[in-house]
Chains A and B, each alone.
Chain A
């Protein structure tokens, strides 16, 4: 089955700096890659996703890139703010609605 690895497990950045979280996947059949943000004590919420026919997608301060050849995808957050502090999960899915999640990155934005 699919194996998703996520790095780093913890990340601290100064407010205003950029943060990058990287994930790799093993199954070349995976074609949908969502990113979820989970604030403390809350449910995971989708923040951005990318499909395998696209190399990059941007939504305001958040962007995701996908390299299908290397089987890795990354989340980029620019101009970080304290409210960006949360745990971020990447995931990979193929046609079948089965999602494989990374182990999460705890992001702390220091004011």
Chain B
């Protein structure tokens, strides 16, 4: 089974631009979560999508948005980029389950640099 994939792997943008990141979950996984990883801050939760609906949202400004398609692929958009948005953006997928304990499988991440 193929793992979680993310594209692109690296991005360089300038302040004020916008960017779209893509995540393809493991086949059969319907939940996709997005995280921002920066040195010293660990992984900070952005949002989670399940069956094309945003189910959970972290404490990030409205410049950060996302969506999920019917095939469970997800995109994350950041508008009006700021220098502080430079980070590794990770997505993680998990399969639907009656259990509340759903292991998350991470993608390789997209390294975003804002100049």
Binding site for B on A (CB under 8 A): 1, 6, 9, 31-32, 34, 36, 42-46, 49, 51, 89, 91, 93-104
Say yes or no: A98 contacts B45, CB within 8 Å.
yes
Specify which chain A residues have a CB less than 8 angstroms from the CB of B108 in the assembled complex: 42-43
At the interface, is chain B mostly helix, strand, loop or mixed? strand
B41 adjacent to chain A (CB < 8 Å): yes
Shortest CB–CB separation between residue A60 and chain B, in angstroms?
18
Say yes or no: B56 contacts A96, CB within 8 Å.
yes
CA distance A46 to B3 in the complex (A): 14
- Partner-binding segment picked from B12-20, B60-68, B75-83, B99-107: B99-107
Chain B, residues 41-70, CB within 8 Å of chain A (1/0): the string is 111110010100001100100000000000
CA distance A32 to B108 in the complex (A): 24
Question: In the complex where A97-B55, A99-B45 touch, is A43 in contact with B50 (Cβ < 8 A)?
Answer: no
Chain B, residues 12-41, CB within 8 Å of chain A (1/0): the string is 000000000000000000010101000011
Say yes or no: B48 contacts A98, CB within 8 Å.
yes
Say yes or no: B101 contacts A51, CB within 8 Å.
yes
Say yes or no: B42 contacts A49, CB within 8 Å.
no
Say yes or no: A95 contacts B100, CB within 8 Å.
yes
Say yes or no: A103 contacts B100, CB within 8 Å.
no
B94 adjacent to chain A (CB < 8 Å): yes
Pick 5 A–B contacts, CB within 8 A, sort by A: A36-B106, A43-B90, A43-B108, A93-B100, A97-B33
Question: In the complex where A97-B55, A97-B56 touch, is A46 in contact with B104 (Cβ < 8 A)?
Answer: yes
